Structure 1
């Protein structure tokens, strides 16, 4: 470069491609988060529910879930509970809101008498809305 002369290079042209690497990184992180949290959103108690023909029921606005597993153990909202504690808890729920629905989930191998006992506890506590939860049967070929 000589004295008093400026370089005559052209300025660099702007980049016309979009850098998608940060977007892909964010999407992969979200995918990992969903993969890890999806199993936690389901009920922790494994049951073999009986099947019935019918449509999916609408969700009740106020409901408590009572589960009777294959061994006859009672669970209220996925927590094990004794029959006496269940009676007290259901009484509290009924006093707070008598229109609360009890969703009864019973394994198909549970004797019918055990299911009737659970229903009786709920009715004595003051809950008259009891819904039975079952899996929908696959469509039969006609």
Structure 2
């Protein structure tokens, strides 16, 4: 007969396989149900126009938000005046032959913010400037 006390030194094992199975199913569910959308730096509502923009989309793009913030080719610029914006445009246009600038100005942006972008383009040596618009809604009478 064995009258020795049995020592409990073995810890119980935790089975991780069911946990991994559940996490894998959750991961597949999240991957299948996620919708990927493109987010932009600045939210811009373009003004309406019936004519199409003749400017090519291959040049530089300055986005002017309604609150006067700027973005150059989708990257936000921490600029406060035309000199800083001009320097950013000069650096972006370096190495390009006859660079063009497309201004995406929000319909609620101030004239001053748009004129500041045009002034900065002139200082940077960019003479071809265009504006982006969106198609006028049908039945607007324009």
TM range (shorter): 0.5 to 0.7
1:40-59, aligned counterparts within 5 Å?
40=38, 43-55=40-52, 57=54, 59=56
Unmatched tracts of structure 2, length 5 or more: 1-31
Measure, in 2, the Cα distance between the counterparts of 1:122 and 1:105. 14
Q: Where does structure 1 differ by over 6 angstroms across 4 or more consecutive aligned residues?
A: none
Measure, in 2, the Cα distance between the counterparts of 1:48 and 1:135. 9
User: Given that residues 64 and 106 in structure 2 are in contact (C-alpha distance below 8 angstroms), is that contact kept between their aligned partners in structure 1?
Assistant: yes
Q: Match for residue 116 of structure 1?
A: 115
| Structure 2 residue matching 1:126: 3-state secondary structure | coil
User: Given that residues 56 and 136 in structure 1 are in contact (C-alpha distance below 8 angstroms), is that contact kept between their aligned partners in structure 2?
Assistant: no
User: Given that residues 53 and 132 in structure 2 are in contact (C-alpha distance below 8 angstroms), is that contact kept between their aligned partners in structure 1?
Assistant: no
User: Given that residues 62 and 70 in structure 2 are in contact (C-alpha distance below 8 angstroms), is that contact kept between their aligned partners in structure 1?
Assistant: yes
Q: Match for residue 134 of structure 1?
A: 133
Is 1:80 the counterpart of 2:76? The answer is yes
| Structure 2 residue matching 1:130: 3-state secondary structure | strand
User: Given that residues 103 and 132 in structure 2 are in contact (C-alpha distance below 8 angstroms), is that contact kept between their aligned partners in structure 1?
Assistant: yes
| Structure 1 residue matching 2:109: 3-state secondary structure | coil
User: Given that residues 65 and 104 in structure 1 are in contact (C-alpha distance below 8 angstroms), is that contact kept between their aligned partners in structure 2?
Assistant: yes
**Structure with a larger share of its residues in helix:** 1
Measure, in 1, the Cα distance between the counterparts of 2:140 and 2:87. 47
Output the TM-score relative to the length of structure 2.
Answer: 0.62
Q: How many residues align?
A: 110
